[in-house]
Chains A and B, each alone.
Chain A
């Protein structure tokens, strides 16, 4: 516990991506270069990652056994001629390398191909559904990060007590619950209603329609209650556990003893001294959660028929609509990479101990 003040421990608490070994002194000395160099390195890494995602999304759908055209016709009897026409239409008759260069060139200009199912550009479909997903998961991530931070701090500060055990126990239990199941149960109990309990919330969708202005905001909020509650219940445990363990690491620090010796009140020691240090691994956590905003709620959106990207992904799967699923995969993975990049760039600014 005496090692709590070394950056290695703080950084080890969360297995942050794309880091050199923190316990390696040489690596640490290496990061003590100018911040611009750090930025350039991380930017380069992220660019390579994005390129790798592009390559993966292409080959994943082509090298794996299965004929995309057969999938397109979905088992319906099709003549060889029709199959050949479809192949030509989607450029599947070209050699693989040419398909690949075409695909990359198009993807880099923002053209993700045409959906088999909706016969519309995938980019437009995604852009139309994006706001709903950002709203739902954005609100949920903000709530569960705050809840996790608050409960995790309380848990660690009074660790071992009844409150801590109860807190951790409840969080772990909710963590083990499948989100779609919790959503379905909430719908049954609070939307459909069982026995004498009347349904209070809508069973799904984003709005009832026919409202405008402030009434519409209220209506959307009403529709958001259950899906957000589901996401928060299943998601807050992770933030809680990370915050709890990193605060526990800090609590052995000598500087807290010093702060107490100065005569500071307990909650001042916590708020001003311990929590800011313990917050750092949790910041990475929050960014990773933000990265999940795009793709993290496939199940919840499906269950609550929320008109977002997750629901679109589910629709694409059931056909299967390969260009659509592929485009969404790019978006989901891209969001994660960008958020990780932001976390990596912010980290040295927030924590001066992590070499600039």
Chain B
């Protein structure tokens, strides 16, 4: 009902156990494996054909490609010493000019360079934090959905409890009590934002496991680990992908918030940190809007791009949600 895709290729030809050889219809392993890959390839192609009909999703993807390219090429574009306070090329708080298109900060560093450099930390933290959060959420969700019983009830009560916690407050508290570093920020975001994924994945796991082919796999001797990793996980993955994309955008916003509150790594240039610097330099009271505007626009742009991609993926995978076109 939820997934537009047929169940993932169920035979597991790589496993040498006897029941699975029967499950693959007695076919020799290589051809079964290539059959599985062909089906996977076909479903990716079908996914892309649906995805590209979503204009907003394409816009988001293009924006992401642009930012990712800038982040990767940052050392070439602006040079590695853009963060250096001692070798700053300009005077403090210069207005935009031909030499410094966005002006300079209070240390005389060019803001355009800092902005490009800041994309690296924003994307890194966003991706890793979302990956961590989705990994925890998927693990908890699949385990709770698969095993059921009182243990699952307890796990889901804990999930519900985390769901009720004010995420930002919890992340701020975690970032406060741990040492200042990028990893702290990643862990603080990842550990506080997994419950939504856990609930979604659990629901999807229960839906998948009610299908007859799971019963068949079980009858053929598939154990818990086999069923979860070979049958449930492939079917849950598309949903997880959409969730990750949406999670990245909120992780980036949270990262910027933590950096703005001074809880990030002070030695690393980030967009949130730039906004904090701007505020401390008195950019607000002196009306230096050109110092404040670009980092915020960059954050909003990247967060919006990820949100648009995530919504498009969600719509493609779950047509019932998808009236928004």
CB distance B299 to A203 under 8 Å? Answer: no
CB closest chain-A residue, reference B206: A21
22 contacts between A and B (CB under 8 A): A60-B173, A64-B178, A66-B177, A159-B324, A172-B308, A172-B311, A176-B249, A178-B260, A178-B296, A178-B300, A181-B296, A187-B284, A194-B289, A295-B166, A299-B261, A317-B261, A317-B263, A325-B176, A328-B169, A329-B173, A336-B165, A340-B164
B287 within 8 A of A: yes
Number of B residues, CB within 8 Å of A: 60
Chain A contacts of B303 at CB under 8 A? 176-177
CB distance B323 to A182 under 8 Å? Answer: no
CB distance B169 to A295 under 8 Å? Answer: yes
Known: A184-B275, A185-B293, A187-B284. A61 touches B164 (CB 8 A): no
Interface centre among B174, B279, B308, B324 (most CB of A within 10 A): B324
Identify 13 new A-B residue pairs, CB closer than 8 A, beyond the known A17-B163, A203-B285, A336-B164. A60-B177, A173-B304, A176-B249, A178-B256, A184-B279, A185-B289, A193-B287, A248-B324, A295-B166, A313-B169, A317-B176, A325-B173, A333-B165
A180 within 8 A of B: yes
CB distance B166 to A336 under 8 Å? Answer: yes
CB distance A188 to B165 under 8 Å? Answer: no
Can you list, as one digit per residue, whether each of A299-337 has a CB less than 8 Å from chain B (1) or not (0)? 100100000000001100110100001001100110011
- Name which of B196-204, B211-219, B222-230 contacts chain A: B196-204
B321 within 8 A of A: yes
Chain B contacts of A178 at CB under 8 A? 253, 256-257, 260, 272, 275, 296, 299-300
B161 within 8 A of A: yes
Q: CA–CA, A52 to B160, complex, Å?
A: 12
Q: CA–CA, A185 to B275, complex, Å?
A: 11
B325 within 8 A of A: yes
CB distance A314 to B261 under 8 Å? Answer: yes
Q: Which one of B203, B263, B292, B307 contacts A185 once the chains associate, using CB atoms below 8 Å?
A: B292
CB closest chain-B residue, reference A340: B164
Can you list, as one digit per residue, whether each of B148-175 has a CB less than 8 Å from chain A (1) or not (0)? 0000000001001101111011101110
Chain A contacts of B164 at CB under 8 A? 17-18, 49, 291, 333, 336-337, 340
Chain A contacts of B311 at CB under 8 A? 172
Q: CA–CA, A302 to B263, complex, Å?
A: 15
Chain B contacts of A24 at CB under 8 A? 206
CB distance A192 to B285 under 8 Å? Answer: yes
Q: Which one of A160, A188, A295 contacts B292 once the chains associate, using CB atoms below 8 Å?
A: A188
Distance in Å from the Cβ of B105 to the closest Cβ of chain A?
15
B295 within 8 A of A: yes
CB distance A176 to B285 under 8 Å? Answer: no
Chain A contacts of B324 at CB under 8 A? 159, 164, 168, 244, 248
* Dominant secondary structure at the B interface: helix
Chain A contacts of B173 at CB under 8 A? 60, 325, 329
Can you list, as one digit per residue, whether each of B234-276 has a CB less than 8 Å from chain A (1) or not (0)? 0000000000000001000100110011110000000010010
Chain B contacts of A92 at CB under 8 A? none
Q: CA–CA, A172 to B323, complex, Å?
A: 16
CB distance B287 to A176 under 8 Å? Answer: no
CB distance A292 to B289 under 8 Å? Answer: no
Known: A15-B199, A52-B161, A181-B275. A298 touches B169 (CB 8 A): yes
A296 within 8 A of B: yes
Q: CA–CA, A329 to B169, complex, Å?
A: 7
Chain A contacts of B301 at CB under 8 A? 176
Chain A contacts of B296 at CB under 8 A? 177-178, 181-182, 184-185
CB closest chain-B residue, reference A336: B164
B50 within 8 A of A: no
CB closest chain-A residue, reference B272: A178
Distance in Å from the Cβ of B25 to the closest Cβ of chain A?
33
Interface residues of A in 11-36 (CB under 8 A from B): 15, 17-18, 21, 23-24
A245 within 8 A of B: yes
CB closest chain-A residue, reference B321: A245
Known: A192-B284, A317-B261, A336-B166. A159 touches B323 (CB 8 A): yes
